[in-house]
Amino acid sequence: MSKQAFHSGFISIVGRPNVGKSTFLNAIVGQKVAIMSDKPQTTRNKIQGVVTTNAAQYVFIDTPGIHKPQHELGKFMTDTALKSLGGVDVVLFMLNASEEIGTGDRFIMEHLKNIHKPVILVVNKIDLLTKEQLYHFIHQAKSEMDFAEIIPISAKKHENLDVLLDVLYNYLEEGPQYYPEGQVTDHPERFIMAEIVREKVLWHTREEIPHSVAVTIEDITRDEDGRLEVMVAIIVERPSQKGIIIGKNGQMLKRIGTDARKDINRVLGTKVHLQTWVKVVKDWRNKQIHLNDFGYQKEDY
Ligand SMILES: Nc1nc2c(ncn2[C@@H]2O[C@H](COP(=O)(O)OP(=O)(O)OP(=O)(O)O)[C@@H](O)[C@H]2O)c(=O)[nH]1
Ligand SMILES: [Mg+2]
């Protein structure tokens, strides 16, 4: 029996905010590499997730949800997502099957029609639909664009992910293993720590606060017991937001810190102690200098 050729390549995951791209990335990688939340515009940077099997290496690129930007940050996010399309072999376009296809989705599809790369439609959140509803949704999607493949999945329930990998194999060329087997992501631990803190802020806050928050790691030192001491700054845009994040008697900040510490310990397998504080940087989402400082650099596209 002849051995199956080893295939490898880069796969971008794009779609509107909140359709489940990061949930999918984590599910397929089998490990948390991107933060997730029920608030739109959670992901702000490109995040790589590598899946290595005997037959292939799939380098997935999770991207920020594409939306109409209201700030420089939003522009950075949407540009990051669209520019990711240039360097990949195949594109996964994700739709949320529990919502009607809308103008935001159509805007992205218009873009995808012009990139001359295979576009696979990933229909996510099928756990929320009956068979009839799913059939109807796929029928509707087919009339919008000519997709290379259509694959229904539930990222949350890990449904049909193996089928997606099998199909994707055929869209990747014969190629080398780019990354060693154990490497699942491209971001340093510092980034992952900051993102996990931001995730907990998103989970515990509402309305405009999730969008107004940035998190930076100011310093990391090791104490005599080998535990990492991590100084974390949570940045907001207004003093009133600072008050909400700190909460009554500091309760909110404490909850965010505790949840983040536990998750960092679990995800990175490192014991950490977090020292968090909140600072106000007025209108940072519109100021290039602050965007650079907080990890949203244009050269990172
Ligand atoms: N029911 C259901 N919910 C899902 C599924 N996949 C994701 N979700 C939920 O959808 C919400 C958004 O998930 P994310 O993975 O953060 O979405 P995203 O597309 O990365 O969003 P942005 O980063 O904002 O672009 C979360 O509340 C998830 O739990 C799914 O298969 N089924
Ligand atoms: Mg995301």
| Overall fold of domain 7-169 | Rossmann fold (3.40.50)
> Would strands 214-222 and 228-236 be described as parallel, antiparallel, or unpaired?
antiparallel
| Cα-to-centroid distance, 252 and ligand 1 (Å) | 24
The residue whose CB lies within 8 Å of the most ligand 1 atoms, and thus the one to mutate among 14, 18, 211, is 18
Q: Please report which residue ranges of the chain form alpha helices under DSSP H.
A: 21-29, 72-84, 103-112, 131-144, 161-169, 189-204, 209-212, 239-246, 251-268, 288-293
| Cα-to-centroid distance, 128 and ligand 2 (Å) | 19
Checking if the pLDDT of 52 tops 80, the result is yes
Nearest atom, ligand 1, residue 16 CA? 25
Q: What is the pLDDT of residue 301?
A: 58
Q: Please report which residue ranges of 92-231 form alpha helices under DSSP H.
A: 103-112, 131-144, 161-169, 189-204, 209-212
* Contact predicate 34/25, CB 8 Å: yes
- DSSP class of residue 210 equals H
Q: What is the pLDDT of residues 277-296, one digit of tens each?
A: 999 999 999 999 999 999 99
Residue whose CA lies nearest to ligand 1 atom number 12: 18
Nearest atom, ligand 1, residue 159 CA? 31
Averaged over 12-22, what is the pLDDT? Answer: 98
Q: pLDDT > 90: what percent of the chain?
A: 94
Backbone angles phi, psi at 243, to 5 degrees: -60, -40
Which ligand approaches the C-alpha of residue 159 most closely?
1
Checking if the pLDDT of 1 tops 60, the result is no
Checking if the pLDDT of 225 tops 90, the result is no
Checking if the pLDDT of 163 tops 60, the result is yes
Nearest atom, ligand 1, residue 19 CA? 19
Mapped onto helix, strand or coil, the DSSP state of residue 214 is strand
Q: Which residues belong to CATH 3.30.300.20 in the chain?
A: 189-293
Nearest atom, ligand 1, residue 43 CA? 23
Measured distance CA(129)–CA(131) in Å, rounded: 7
Averaged over 129-140, what is the pLDDT? Answer: 98
Q: Which residues belong to CATH 3.40.50.300 in the chain?
A: 7-169
Q: What is the pLDDT of residue 202?
A: 97
Q: What is the pLDDT of residue 2?
A: 59
CA dihedral (125, 23, 198, 215) positive or negative:
negative
Nearest atom, ligand 1, residue 153 CA? 31
Find the angle CA(287)-CA(289)-CA(280) to the nearest 5 degrees: 65
Residue whose CA lies nearest to ligand 1 atom number 9: 20
Q: What is the pLDDT of residues 169-210, one digit of tens each?
A: 999 999 999 999 889 999 999 999 999 999 999 999 999 999
Checking if the pLDDT of 298 tops 90, the result is no
Measured distance CA(25)–CA(72) in Å, rounded: 26
Checking if the pLDDT of 3 tops 80, the result is no
**Secondary-structure class of domain 189-293 per CATH:** alpha beta
Residue whose CA lies nearest to ligand 1 atom number 11: 38
For the record, the structure tokens of 161 come out as 């992910």
Residues in the ligand 1 pocket, defined by CB under 6 Å: 15, 17-23, 36-38, 40-43, 64-65, 124-125, 127-128, 154-156
For the record, the structure tokens of 265 come out as 């310990």
Residue whose CA lies nearest to ligand 1 atom number 6: 20
* Contact predicate 50/59, CB 8 Å: yes
> Predicted confidence band at 300 (pLDDT cuts at 50, 70, 90)?
low
Nearest atom, ligand 1, residue 124 CA? 31
| Cα-to-centroid distance, 110 and ligand 2 (Å) | 21
For the record, the structure tokens of 152 come out as 């229904």
Q: In sequence order, what are the beta bridge partners of 230? A: 220, 274
| Cα-to-centroid distance, 52 and ligand 1 (Å) | 24
The residue whose CB lies within 8 Å of the most ligand 1 atoms, and thus the one to mutate among 13, 36, 211, is 36
| Cα-to-centroid distance, 301 and ligand 2 (Å) | 16
pTM of the model: 0.97
| Mean pLDDT score of the chain | 96
Q: What is the pLDDT of residues 56-86, one digit of tens each?
A: 999 999 999 999 999 999 999 999 999 999 9
Averaged over 90-116, what is the pLDDT? Answer: 98
Q: Is 98 exposed, middle or buried (0-12, 13-18, 19+ CB in 10 A)?
A: middle
| Cα-to-centroid distance, 267 and ligand 2 (Å) | 17
